[in-house]
Amino acid sequence: MLAFDVDGGTFRLRPARRSDLPDVVRLLADDQLGATREDSADLPAILQLLADDQLGAAREDLSELAPYADAFEAIDADPAHLLLVGELVPAGAGGSSVVATFQLSFLPGLSRRGSWRSQIEAVRVSGALRGRGVGAAMVQWAIGESRSRGCTLMQLTTDKSRVDAHRFYERLGFAASHEGMKLKL
């Protein structure tokens, strides 16, 4: 998988473990949208990443991990879905901490001559590491993995209010070619 030096340590990408869920949920909740959607315990690291941005802060609820655990089990059981975390291992130190996450799904379709596509979502990097190439490296890894699985298209959605995220994805070659819609159920 992916590994590189950043911020005085080594960043490593790996499949998420159930024990990472608190960190992932933390990342999801650490933003303005996520704080109102998500919940938190080592779900705490994933949860913190989800919450670590302006939207996640409003969508994520770090107090209850059961819904995240159920979702993790479903993702983990299906080879068409990957939940990955990035961990930072400080130089000369033993421990590591979850500092990034994303989900990558592989979807069959009849359009585009029966093409497979990948969908990347819930891309989060800890605020302390934003702007240091971590997000770009994760997305580039996801593009390579998608190609290796025969996907001909990668898609994503990003909230209309995330102007910085739009610029980030455009720099990586994504185009705002479609208008997405969602229906809250």
Nearest Cα residue to 97 out of 111, 87, 107: 87
170: Cα separation from own chain's centroid:
17
What pLDDT, on a 0 to 100 scale, did the predictor assign at position 152? 97
Cα diameter, the chain: 51
Residue 103 corresponds to which tokens in the numbers above? 């989900």
Beta bridge mates, 108 = 116
Task: For the chain, list residues with pLDDT below 70.
Answer: 31-58, 62, 93
Whether the CA torsion 16, 156, 167, 51 is positive or negative: it is: negative
Name the nearest CA neighbour of 8 among 91, 109, 117. Answer: 91
Tokens of residue 67, six digits: 């819904």
Please, what are the domains in the chain? 3-171 (3.40.630.30)
Identify the pLDDT of residue 14: 92
128 neighbors 119 (Cβ within 8 angstroms): no
- What pTM does this model have? 0.83
pLDDT at position 1:
81
How high is the pLDDT of residue 36? 42
Q: What is the pLDDT of residue 31?
A: 62
Query: Quick check: 105 and 80 in contact, CB under 8 A?
Result: yes
Determine the pLDDT at residue 142. 97
The structure tokens listed for 37 are 């959607």
